[in-house]
Structure 1
Amino acid sequence: MGKVRNAVNAYKALNGLICVYKPACVPVRQVQHTLITNLCRDLNALPSRPQEQRVEIVGATNAPLTVKVVPNLADDPLVCGPRYIHDDFRCSWASHLGLFTSGVLLLGINDGTRLTYYINSARLTRAYKVHGQFGKATDTYFWNGKTVERATFGHITRQKIDGVVAHMQAAHQKTMFQLTGLHMDSQSTYELASQGLIRPVDNKLPVIYGMKCIHFQPPHFTLEIQSVNEYDKYLWTIIHDLGIQLKTVAHCTGVQCIRQGKFDVELSLLRKHWQLEHILNNMDRCHQLIEEHGELLKPESATLKPLRSNNEVL
């Protein structure tokens, strides 16, 4: 998109999906508020529609009257306020990121809020870089918690981490198939797996599809996790469980979302680029991505069948 020159046309074009990079320790609602504030500021700085005119009839009633058109002061921005305010925008997110999680965040603006609903319903897989540290355990499994235990970690090697991570991934995948209620060696299970990734029918049940260690420099390490229905505290728990299985303790030091569906960090806008022109360009790129991948807003996989009815107590 070329340089924006008119506020009216720019506002009409603000209907779509954008991909931004959410910083850590910044709530999603604050990101939403900052984006709308910047859009209002940039739109109000552009040339807007001309000021309305009003007809004025002046002169004595016993003499010929004079009719003239003068600017309507009630429509002056100095009187009625800025042309664009927060209430002129609708904004929603496709999936929520925790306070301490950074990374890819999809936001819909105005008519784009419908796209965020479809993306949320499709439950696209998300990829994370989860950073951890051996030697210390906290009561929250995160770095800001209270230290409850310390342990040595000199016996840990990259090979041991890879072995435990592979075992944890296999355990999650086995549980994923067990939730279908089908036998692992049956033809039905094979046909279900051939349809693609299997998603649970409960959108609150986290499922891990892939997990590997991509960095290890004692005591620090990083796991790359691909999952669905996850949340920040669940990812912290994985780091804690990894430390227990390696006969030590560990806590999470950071979580970064690097991909959601086809949207990755290379597409996301940094905070310094949360401006009207960059937002419009990013909206065009997201629109092209959705058009190129028509299945983007459709569920990518089969869905697990529930083992119990809604009336049964778990």
Structure 2
Amino acid sequence: MVKIEKASWAFKALNGIICVYKPPCVPVRRVQHTIITNICRDLNALPQGPQEQRVEIVGATNAPMTVKVVPNYADDILVSGPRFIQDDFKCSWATHLGLFSSGVLLLGINDGTKLTHTINAARPTRAFKVHGQLGKATDTYFWNGRTIERATFGHVTREKIDRIVAYMQAAHQKTMYDLSGLHMESQTMYELASQGVIRPANNKLPVLYGIKCVHFDPPNFTLEVQSVNEYDKYLWTLIHDLGVQLKTSAHCTGVQCIRQGKFDLELALLRKHWQLEHIIDNLNRCQELLDGNENLLKPKSAHLSL
């Protein structure tokens, strides 16, 4: 990790993308505010530049006057206030995470805000671990909703879940090809599929590319979902629909984003590491990842006009 000695050098280095781990029940704007506040705190704690001097001429005007250099109190931190404040920084996110969701969150700092816009337009796939619980349904499909139904779940097995999620994945993929208006066995469809992952032109249409059960311990289970344009309530609904198809009830207990494009949990900064040195180090690592993977900003994929 680079040791920072001057605040001016650190300020110039704060341009790019960082990958942080958003805790559950913490709004994205709170994450932004905390990171910028910590950056300002750490920058102000570093050695600052020398205090400005001013020339002062003293003495009677009818006699030789004395010229001397004295400290400029207008440049004193006790007068001017902290050198760095929150208004000195810009911060934006690439793809939003809901209040109750946790996991990988990409933030752009200063010039990095342009990269977040580019990443959002490219819509890289995101991977989620969606945790569910059998036996109860709520009005919001999430654990904090009002219970509206209870059901037994003793008949549910891992094999049944695997079979249904495989059917759900196939149905979503078939829908994508159907929306293209092309025949499944045509040459045009083959060329479209060979271009890469098919992404919808409409950025408000959720598309699931993969669903599988990675943990099953009744009544709790976990699905791993790969998708684009998804949002938290859509993933909650996925758990509810799975419960219906299993002839029982289910609700979501948690959503965790484990990957966005090439950015995964190993790269994400935990809350205790939201400090200047760790942030600058993470900026450099993220930039190396972007330089080595040009398709993150311009993915090779086919887009459907919906």
The TM-score by the shorter chain falls in which range?
A: over 0.9
User: How many residue pairs were aligned?
Assistant: 306
Tell me the equivalent position of 1:158: 158
User: Are the equivalent residues in 2 in contact too, given 1:125–1:227 (CA < 8 A)?
Assistant: yes
Task: Specify the code of the residue in structure 2 equivalent to 1:96.
Answer: H
List per-residue Cα deviations over 1:50-102 (Å, max 9, x = no partner): 11111111001111111111111011111110000000001110010000000
Partner of 1:234: 234
Counterpart position of 2:51: 51
> Following the alignment from structure 1 to structure 2, what is the Cα–Cα distance between the partners of residues 215 and 72?
66
Q: CA deviation at 1:305?
A: 2.0
- C-alpha contact (below 8 Å) 1:92/1:109 kept by paired residues: yes
Unaligned runs of 5+ in 1: 307-314
Counterpart of 2:304?
304
Mapping 1:5-44, distance limit 5 Å: 5-44=5-44
Counterparts of 1:210-221 in structure 2, within 5 Å, are: 210-221=210-221
Deviation at 1:299, TM superposition (A): 2.9
Which residue is 1:250 aligned to?
Answer: 250
Please, which runs of 5 or more residues in structure 2 have no aligned partner? none
How far, CA to CA, are the matches of 1:156 and 1:289 in structure 2? 42
Deviation of 1:186 (Å): 1.4
Alpha-carbon distance in structure 1 between the residues aligned to 2:300 and 2:101? 25
Q: Cα offset for 1:181?
A: 0.9
* Match in the other structure for 2:208: 208
Rounded to whole Å, the distance in 2 between the matches of 1:282 and 1:305 is 37
Corresponding position: 1:98 with 2:105: no
Deviation, structure 1 residue 187:
1.4
SS at match of 1:127: strand
* Distance in structure 2 (CA, Å) of the matches to 1:190 and 1:221: 36
Letter of the 2:244 partner, please give it: I
1:312 is matched with: none
Structure-to-structure mapping, 1:62-211, within 5 angstroms: 62-211=62-211
Deviation at 1:201, TM superposition (A): 1.0
Do the aligned residues in 2 keep the contact of 1:124 with 1:300 (CA within 8 Å)?
Answer: no
Shift of 1:245: 0.2
In structure 1, distance between residues paired with 2:184 and 2:237: 27
Residue 146 (structure 1) shift: 0.3
For 2:70 and 2:300, how far apart are their aligned partners in 1?
Answer: 60
Q: Give the partner amino acid of 2:205.
A: L
Cα distance per residue 1:229-253 (max 9 Å; x no partner): 0000000000000000000010000
CA contact (8 A) 2:202 2:305 kept: no
Structure 1 moving runs of 4+ over 3 Å: none
Instruction: Tell me, yes or no, if the aligned pair for 2:55 and 2:70 is still in contact at 8 Å.
Output: yes
- Residue 289 of structure 1 is matched in structure 2 by 289
| Equivalent in the alignment of 1:309 | none
Please state how far the C-alpha of 1:300 moved relative to its aligned partner. 3.5
Shift of 1:124: 0.5
- Paired with 2:305 and 2:78, the residues of 1 have a C-alpha distance of 60
Percent identity between the two aligned chains: 76
Rounded Cα–Cα distance in structure 2 between residues aligned with 1:294 and 1:67: 60
Alpha-carbon RMSD: 0.7
Q: Distance in 2 between matches of 1:24 and 1:168?
A: 27
Shift of 1:34: 0.1
Structure 1 distance, partners of 2:42, 2:279, is: 11
In structure 2, C-alpha distance between the alignment counterparts of 1:56 and 1:172, rounded to whole Å: 77
Are the counterparts in 2 of residues 122 and 300 from structure 1 also a CA contact under 8 Å?
A: no
- Residues 163-199 of structure 1 show CA distances to partners (whole Å, capped at 9, x for unaligned) of 0000000000000111111111211111111111101
